[in-house]
Amino acid sequence: MQLDVFTQVPHAFAWMTEQRPLAAVLGSELELRLFNYRDTTPLRAGQVDDEPYGGGAGMVLRVDVVAAALESAYGGSPGHRVVALTPQGRQLTQAVVEELAAEPRLTLLSSRFEGFDERVVTHLCSDAISIGPYVLSGGELPAMVVLDAVARRLPGALTEGSGEHESFSPALDGGLEYPHYTRPADFRGWRVPDVLLSGDHGRIERWRREQSRLRSAPRETQTQ
Ligand SMILES: C[S@@+](CC[C@H](N)C(=O)[O-])C[C@H]1O[C@@H](n2cnc3c(N)ncnc32)[C@H](O)[C@@H]1O
């Protein structure tokens, strides 16, 4: 997969490339490219944003600047999915992550300050995604969230089997994962459930399923 991120702060992504899951797939399953709008802006002195028409606080990322950045990277229309990261987008879920992870090429556009000129979203992007119903100061963290969630779905990102029974996976019917415990079996009287020490894999599996179901129930009720 080739994943391109357009940002005003490309160096913010440095730490991620050294950590799993990204480090495990970079150079094999994933090619990550970071583009700075300032490098290709047609405006003077690296300008990328401007005051909003109609007045108001904050600066808006200009459509001509984003168009120039895309043109420079792709030499025309990208021909693949271009996602604007914005609080007004479709909310990111595991189902959306699976969708994105199946794309051979993906572009993420981030903004800062007041956000994008609306024409970026309507004319230069194929969709818009929000990582949640709250406002962050920039699209870099949302881009990293998408990047991490997508990278861990790529072959070789995780150790064998560790991604199969995760929260929201089909193996758990889209529900939440059951609780995990490790040594010591008793700490301050907080005991690990006996079933997990029993060695009875059938019972353990049934207990885990039940725990997953119980944990997922309140969330299902909330969304009904
Ligand atoms: C301060 S926000 C702009 C908020 C915008 N004026 C609004 O009220 O919806 C600046 C940028 O951060 C990014 N951003 C902030 N919150 C986000 C979220 N929940 N999901 C995705 N991107 C977000 C977007 O790229 C956005 O354009």
Helix ranges (H only) for 37-174 are 37-40, 63-74, 94-101, 118-119, 140-151
With a CB cutoff of 8 Å and minimum separation 6, the contacts of 54 are: none
**Atom of ligand 1 lying closest to residue 88 CA:** 9
Whether the model clears a pTM of 0.85, i.e. scores above it, the answer is yes
pLDDT at position 17 is 92
pLDDT at position 218 is 66
pLDDT at position 217 is 87
Given pLDDT bands bounded at 50, 70 and 90, which one contains residue 219?
low
Distance, in Å, from the CA atom of 174 to the CA atom of 166, rounded to the nearest integer, reads 9
Which 8-state DSSP code applies to residue 123?
I
Contact 7 CB / ligand 1 (< 6 Å): no
pLDDT digit string, tens, across residues 4-63: 999 999 999 999 999 999 999 999 999 999 999 999 999 999 999 999 999 999 999 999
With a CB cutoff of 8 Å and minimum separation 6, the contacts of 16 are: 22, 144, 147, 148
Provide the 3-class DSSP secondary structure of residue 46: helix
* Closest to 142 measured CA to CA, from 151, 132, 152: 132
Which residue has tokens 């609780």? 179
Distance 136 CA to ligand 1 centre (A): 6
Given pLDDT bands bounded at 50, 70 and 90, which one contains residue 221?
low
Q: Is the pLDDT of residue 224 over 50?
A: no
Find the mean pLDDT for residues 74-79: 94
Q: Residue 108 burial (CB < 10 Å; 0-12/13-18/19+)? A: buried
Give me the chain's average pLDDT, please. 94
Q: Which helix (H) or strand (E) holds 212?
A: helix 201-223
- DSSP β-bridge partners for residue 129: 90
Which residue has tokens 């009904």? 224
The one-letter amino acid at 203: R
Distance, in Å, from the CA atom of 146 to the CA atom of 141, rounded to the nearest integer, reads 9
pLDDT at position 159 is 81
Find the mean pLDDT for residues 131-144: 98
pLDDT digit string, tens, across residues 83-126: 999 999 999 999 999 999 999 999 999 999 999 999 999 999 99
Distance 137 CA to ligand 1 centre (A): 6
Contact 182 CB / ligand 1 (< 6 Å): no
Q: Is the pLDDT of residue 162 over 70?
A: yes
Contact 111 CB / ligand 1 (< 6 Å): yes
The protein residue with its alpha carbon nearest to ligand 1, atom 20, reads 130
Could you give phi then psi for residue 178, rounded to 5 degrees? -70, 165
